[in-house]
Structure 1
Amino acid sequence: MTEQEVAVTSADAFARLAIELHDAPGVEETIDAVVQFALQALSCTYAGVALYARGSRPEIAAVTDPVVADVYDVQLSTQNGPLVTALRESTTILIRDTLTEDRWPEWAAKVAALGVRSVLDVPLATGNGTRSTVGVLGLYSPTPDAFSQDDEAIAHILARHASVAVASARHEETMAQAVDARKLVGQAMGILMERFDVDGDRAFAILKRYSQDTNTKLRDVAQQLIDTRKLPH
Structure 2
Amino acid sequence: MTTSDSDASLDADAFARLAVELHDADGVDDTIEAVVQFALHAENCTYAGVVLATAGGRAEIGAVTDPVVEAIYTAQLNTGDGPVLAALASGLTVYVADVGKDDRWPHWQSEVAAAKIRSVLHVPMKAGDQVIGVLSLYTLHPDAFTADDEAIAHILARHASVAVATARQEETMARAVDARKLVGQAMGILMERFDLDSDQAFAVLRRYSQDTNTKLRDVAQHLIDTRKLPS
Do these two structures clear the TM 0.5 threshold for a shared fold by scoring above it? yes
* Paired residues for 1:1-233 under 5 Å: 2-128=3-129, 132-233=130-231
Q: What's the Cα RMSD here? A: 0.9
Identity %: 67
Q: Matches of 1:193 and 1:183 in 2, distance apart?
A: 15
TM-score with structure 2 length normalisation?
A: 0.97
Shift of residue 107, structure 1, vs aligned partner: 1.6
Shift of residue 102, structure 1, vs aligned partner: 2.4
Residue identity opposite 2:183 in structure 1: V
Shift of residue 56, structure 1, vs aligned partner: 4.1
User: Which segments of 5 or more consecutive residues in structure 2 lack a partner in the other structure?
Assistant: none
1:9-49 per-position Cα deviation (integer Å, ceiling 9, x unaligned): 00000000000000111000000000000001000010000
**Which secondary structure state, in structure 1, belongs to the residue aligned with residue 101 of structure 2?**
coil
1:41-99 per-position Cα deviation (integer Å, ceiling 9, x unaligned): 00001000000111141010100001101111121111111111101100001111101
Q: Matches of 1:196 and 1:140 in 2, distance apart?
A: 62
Q: Matches of 1:102 and 1:231 in 2, distance apart?
A: 57
Q: Matches of 1:80 and 1:32 in 2, distance apart?
A: 25
**Which secondary structure state, in structure 2, belongs to the residue aligned with residue 198 of structure 1?**
coil
Q: Matches of 2:218 and 2:40 in 1, distance apart?
A: 41
1:155-188 per-position Cα deviation (integer Å, ceiling 9, x unaligned): 0000000000000000000000000000000000
Which consecutive aligned stretches of 4+ in structure 1 deviate over 3 angstroms post-superposition?
none
Residue identity opposite 1:183 in structure 2: K
**Which secondary structure state, in structure 2, belongs to the residue aligned with residue 99 of structure 1?**
helix
Q: Matches of 1:165 and 1:104 in 2, distance apart?
A: 31
TM-score with structure 1 length normalisation?
A: 0.97
Shift of residue 104, structure 1, vs aligned partner: 1.8
Residue identity opposite 2:127 in structure 1: T
